[in-house]
A and B are shown apart, each in its own frame.
Chain A
Amino acid sequence: MLNDSNLQSNGDKETEKTNEIGIQSNIQSNRHEEETIGSALDALCLVPALLMTFPLLSLPDEIIGYIYSFLPIKDRMRARLCKRLDNVEMQHKYFAPRFNIDENDAKITLWRQLVVNDDNMEMVVQRRAIALTRSNSRWFIFRNKPHALFIDRGFPFDTLKRIMKNGTFGFLYVNITGYGEGELLKDAILCAWRIFRLLPECNIDELKIIFPFSLNKDEMVDKYLFLLIDACCKLKLGCTGKLTAAGLNTLYKRVMDRTCKLYFIDFEYAPAGLLKEFLLLIGIKFERGELFSERNVEAYNFKDVQAADDEEGEEMFRMNNHVFDGNLEMIFGHDEDDTTGWLSMNYHRTKEDVVKAKSKKGLVRIEVSPQ
């Protein structure tokens, strides 16, 4: 018995020892598991908030998207905290009252002056500009205007693309004038054109584009204009580029038929020849400042006084013709040389708006004879 007892005792001790080892092993195992879980938690950056019964990610995508719709773009981009939130951010639209895509013109102006004054500085300018534009991932400088979004920092094009496709813009301003020569100029044009390709995919109230000096003539074609007029309500272009009279005629028809989103367009400059050719296509002859038409249109003159810009302070003005064609008001004219002209179109949404426009102070009714 003793032996048995001893055996038993020994056995118990063995068992205890085994159990002890087992317990220690379990403790170690548990510790290991705790450490593993702990490190997993650390890896996941889990925090007490996650332990709440209803964390942020419990919300449906629609509500998270709605929450994101209230955020300014900077905060919204920072709130892409996991793949799901990244995806939700990408799928939900938002409104930006004002959005500027702007070369840092203050610096460019300074650089230009430096280029003019000192050949050595040109190298500096070019190196700086190349550094800004060469990398595929970082192309642009943005400037923060009163309600704009970006401070002077490089900005990944993919992020810009994401913002533009998701956004509804109150006023979108694109000012890529282009500068430099050779590779530098190519880069600037490529930058500009990548942005211009995004514009027709945006939802914009008012769009103003300043084209690069060497881009306007080549890329501003009818087809591109037709894409823009479906993207914005108001469009301000600094030129007519390579638009044709037939293209302007199509624009006119689509605005009149209301088969586009556009209500207002302003070509700051239009060659007088193009302007007259377009007017002829819609049945209006414009010669030596006089208007002829067999159509039922009303015409007015308006002396548009510009601020004095010469040393003697002589008053500058240009004579605008306002032609009302149904709800459409076209404002146009050309300089004394009959070379440079201007054109804008404004489709008034109601008859009351047309009456109000006709009663504008300074408008003088003029005769439109058939021939």
Chain B
Amino acid sequence: MVLITLVSSDEQNFPVERELLKQSGTIETLIVNMNLDDEDTDAAAMPIPLPNVKGDVLEKVIQWMEHHKGDPVKEGDNEDNNAEIVVPQWDDDFFKPAMYGSKHLELTVAASYLDIKNLLTLSCKAISNTFKGKTGPQIREEWGVPNEFTPEEEEAIRKENEWSE
């Protein structure tokens, strides 16, 4: 089993099975560019630095990739059917402990940076699920969004949204 070492921004090393990394478009490109798939290359001696991902977040990403090993990799952007996407129970449980916290959002950004489309989709869908059926103030409170509207602007938005309350 070929292992490739990922290095987080806080210099933690994570040896990861080569096969798992196919889920990440960014890492896949780096592997190709660094010729890590060549038999002559000593992949173990060439760690891949990921300066935009912290160790604790990278650990979660790897955990997610391990669970989804062998899943078909999503290609292209198809936002047409977003309403139909359902977050599987395992993923829901995976995101829940980090929900409403920095960790889930950092995980989402990491998924975007590492180009792991399935993780990005499920993570964003899980976040969007927390918005459903809630009022503006409730979402503000849960996700820390300041209210910068003037009273007049807020009243205008409130009137616009009356139909949806």
Q: Which residue of A lies closest to B138 (CB)?
A: A78
Instruction: Give chain B nearest CB distance to A67 CB in angstroms.
Output: 5
Q: Which of B112, B125, B144, B160 is within 8 Å of A56, CB to CB?
A: B144
Residues of B within 8 A of A62 (CB): 112
Instruction: Determine the main DSSP class of A at the interface with B.
Output: mixed
A96 to B142, CA, bound (A): 27
**Would B85 and A70 count as touching, CB distance under 8 A?**
yes
Q: How many A-B pairs with Cβ below 8 Å?
A: 142
Instruction: Give chain A nearest CB distance to B86 CB in angstroms.
Output: 11
Instruction: Give chain A nearest CB distance to B88 CB in angstroms.
Output: 15
**Would A44 and B146 count as touching, CB distance under 8 A?**
yes
**Would B141 and A47 count as touching, CB distance under 8 A?**
yes
Q: Please, what's the 1-or-0 string for A137-172, where 1 marks a CB less than 8 Å from any CB in chain B?
A: 100001000000011011110110000000010000
Q: Does B81 contact A (CB under 8 A)?
A: yes
Given A45-B140, A75-B133, check contact A82 B148 (CB 8 Å).
yes
**Would A67 and B146 count as touching, CB distance under 8 A?**
no
Q: Does A186 contact B (CB under 8 A)?
A: no
Q: Does B89 contact A (CB under 8 A)?
A: no
**Would B79 and A93 count as touching, CB distance under 8 A?**
yes
A18 to B18, CA, bound (A): 71
Residues of B within 8 A of A48 (CB): 144
Q: Which of B125-164 contact A (CB under 8 A)?
A: 125, 127-129, 131-137, 139-149, 157, 159-164
Instruction: Determine the main DSSP class of B at the interface with A.
Output: helix
Q: Does A123 contact B (CB under 8 A)?
A: no
Instruction: Give chain B nearest CB distance to A54 CB in angstroms.
Output: 4
**Would A78 and B124 count as touching, CB distance under 8 A?**
no
A45 to B151, CA, bound (A): 13
**Would B145 and A67 count as touching, CB distance under 8 A?**
no
A214 to B142, CA, bound (A): 51
Q: Please, what's the 1-or-0 string for A5-46, where 1 marks a CB less than 8 Å from any CB in chain B?
A: 000000000000000000000000000000000000001111
Q: Does A77 contact B (CB under 8 A)?
A: yes
Stretch of B4-12, B21-29, B34-42, B98-106 at the chain-chain interface: B98-106
**A-contacting residues of B (Cβ < 8 Å)?**
79-83, 85, 100-102, 105-106, 108-109, 112, 120, 124-125, 127-129, 131-137, 139-149, 157, 159-164
